Amino acid sequence: MAQEDIFKKLVAHCKEYGYVFQSSEIYDGLGAVYDYGQYGVELKNNIKKYWWDSMVLLHENVVGIDSAIFMHPTIWKASGHVDAFNDPLIDNKDSKKRYRADVLIEEQLAKIEEKINKEVDKAKKRFGDAFDEKQFRETNQRVLDNQAKWDALHNRFAQALNDGNLDELRQIIVDEEIACPISGTRNWTDVRQFNLMFATEMGSTADGALKVYLRPETAQGIFVNYLNVQKTGRMKIPFGIAQIGKAFRNEIVARQFIFRMREFEQMEMQFFVRPGSELDWFEKWKETRMKWHRALGFGDENYRFHEHEKLAHYANAAVDVEYKFPFGFKEVEGIHSRTDFDLSQHEKFSGKKIRYFDPELNESYVPYVVETSIGVDRMFLQVISASYCEEQLEKDSRVVLKIPAVLAPVKLAVMPLVKKDGLPEKAREIIDNLKFDFNCQYDEKDSIGKRYRRQDAIGTPFCVTVDHQTAEDNSVTIRYRDTMEQERVAIADLGKIIGAQVSMKNLFGKI
């Protein structure tokens, strides 16, 4: 099945099974804003717990905060967001649709890459085990031609971005003959910069209302609390501050479901280090964060690092962790070496000293910062994309979400085989014993087969069936979602069996 069809199916699945709903749906929706349903919120909470604990439990020098969404407007002047948090936009004059110029060019690059990969895959099939991919890439003429095309376009694009040359971005679109997907024409306007921050007013207009912004990243809430945390927590450099919270961006090209939203959630950690050590820490956090992703078992080949074409105004190194979504490799997380830019700017704009006295060096300095920044919603989409499976079975088929048991919204469903003979009561008794440790669901409607399918579709890793034998020997069958195998076990052992599989320790051991 085409990857695009799979993506459409998983979007529909998210809605049908209570994971994600369009915001304000009964009023025809609000663009690029989504609500999480009864299972979605559980998955989201589990993702956040996995991230939070991996930061603040596993690192004694990382602590958390929860700062406000509204902040003093000068913060955004100091951070550079008022002047430079822009997207280069271009409009198609026929369809009147607006696009991000850089995204149009990136998609063109991805198309060339796709051609190369297709060529490689074809040869791989033809030559089987004897295939030498490196040699093939270095000698096949079609691959070489496309690679040369990719390199030339990539260099031109990177140069235009670095120079902030909007005319050149437009010229690339024209030269590459990129057409609007809606109108099919190449009738483009100039490229213009568009600021992504949402603004609102605080206080009544009579008093002279203050223009405030909805934060476009949570990081600034950490920077402006650096001194508070360092002093009250007696933190010694190197140390980190972690935060999870909402961020808002007026995204113009909002597509691909929850991949690019106008209201989303970030999990960010700013790690404060001695100047000069930041690139070592950058490498260390790159490695740690990649291990965090890979620990989920979605396949190492589905991740890669992507170096930035253009460094943000505050960074001296930056890389994205990309995951292979059904619509291609895309950014899930950014790791940035932000230098002392933010703290120095806040020193300048606030007039307050933001320094660290390093007792080992016997000197004060503005710390450098390495940041890890991941979107909760993109991580959610990664989990759903990796977990969604359609399986053909002997007699029928099933749709199953093979969400890692640690993250699954519901850990077990308890099902009485029939609604009589004391089986429902026994099932409820099991839930009453396990509900303090695991999210349990009671399910007695329909045949056992239908109930299994229902639980497969929401990704419940364990189904426990109570039958007539249960009354005799206090045993039940436990059915495993991924293998569909069943086992007879003692009720007394259920907590241990399930606990071993859903413990976050399984993941933390791999980081």
Which chain residues interact with ligand GAP by CB under 6 A? Answer: 217, 219, 249, 251, 260-261, 264, 266, 268, 331-334, 371, 373-375, 377-378
- In DSSP terms, 91 is beta-bridged to 98
**Helix residue ranges, H only, 320-375:** 341-350
Which is nearer to ligand GAP, 115 or 308 (by Cβ)?
Answer: 308
Tell the smallest beta-carbon distance from residue 179 to ligand GAP (Å): 25
Tell the smallest beta-carbon distance from residue 264 to ligand GAP (Å): 4
Residues recorded for the chain: 511
Tell the smallest beta-carbon distance from residue 290 to ligand GAP (Å): 14
Which is nearer to ligand GAP, 90 or 332 (by Cβ)?
Answer: 332
Which is nearer to ligand GAP, 265 or 467 (by Cβ)?
Answer: 265
- Nearest CA to 241 out of 228, 257, 252, 250 is that of 228
8 A C-beta contact, residue 344 and residue 334 = no
Which is nearer to ligand GAP, 91 or 217 (by Cβ)?
Answer: 217
Rounded CA separation 303/331 (Å) = 10
Q: Alpha-carbon dihedral of residues 199, 32, 24, 379, nearest 10 degrees?
A: -110
8 A C-beta contact, residue 189 and residue 91 = yes
Tell the smallest beta-carbon distance from residue 173 to ligand GAP (Å): 22
Q: Specify the amino acid at residue 53.
A: D
Strand 20-22 and strand 34-36: pairing? antiparallel
Going across the sheet that includes 192-195, the strands are: 98-100, 86-91, 192-195
Which is nearer to ligand GAP, 230 or 243 (by Cβ)?
Answer: 243
Which is nearer to ligand GAP, 377 or 456 (by Cβ)?
Answer: 377
8 A C-beta contact, residue 210 and residue 201 = yes
Distances (CA, A) of 450 to 454, 462, 476: 6, 15, 19
Strand 388-392 and strand 303-307: pairing? unpaired
Tell the smallest beta-carbon distance from residue 96 to ligand GAP (Å): 22
Which is nearer to ligand GAP, 170 or 262 (by Cβ)?
Answer: 262
Tell the smallest beta-carbon distance from residue 244 to ligand GAP (Å): 12
Which is nearer to ligand GAP, 375 or 424 (by Cβ)?
Answer: 375
Tell the smallest beta-carbon distance from residue 216 to ligand GAP (Å): 7
| Cβ-closest position to ligand GAP | 375
Q: Alpha-carbon dihedral of residues 353, 356, 358, 363, nearest 10 degrees?
A: -20
Tell the smallest beta-carbon distance from residue 196 to ligand GAP (Å): 9
CA atoms within 13 A on the CB side of 382: 25
8 A C-beta contact, residue 220 and residue 257 = no
